[in-house]
Amino acid sequence: MKILLVDASDTFRKYLSERLRVVPGAMVVGQAGSEEQAVVTASLCAPDVVLADVELRTGSGFTALQRLRAGGFNGTSYLLTTADESEYGPQCVDAGIDGFYDKLLDLERLIQALTVLATAPKNFEAARIKLS
């Protein structure tokens, strides 16, 4: 599972990259600190998952995720931020963003969600149980 990290903080991206090592098959394939970098990097590395903070060096992770969706990205996208969920939660649904995690309080939940995503069957055919 290829992951793109989008956060203004180099330190946080490094920390999160280390934490994601426990997710089976997860590989950080790109990192970005701005909205424009996120869009360009996603087009180059074709991630399966994009994790983005709202506040970036320039632009917004929220807008970057919207731009990626508009450009055809159909992978999983999570907003990972310290911003108030009540402010962005409803907008996430409208924008096609798959989840919202507090980057200080919800990292374990994020890792669990990514582990489920990484270990889930990739298509319904693989998950089908033969009954006869």
Q: What is the pLDDT of residues 27-58, one digit of tens each?
A: 999 999 999 999 999 999 999 999 999 999 99
* Gap between the Cα atoms of 108 and 22, Å rounded: 11
Number of domains in the chain: 1
Q: What CATH number did the domain enclosing 66 receive?
A: 3.40.50.2300
* Gap between the Cα atoms of 34 and 40, Å rounded: 10
Domain, as residue range, for 107? 2-127
Each residue's pLDDT tens digit, 79-129: 988 877 677 777 777 778 898 899 989 999 999 999 999 988 765 444 445
pTM over 0.85: yes
The predicted structure's pLDDT at residue 56? 94
| 132 within a domain of the structure (yes/no) | no
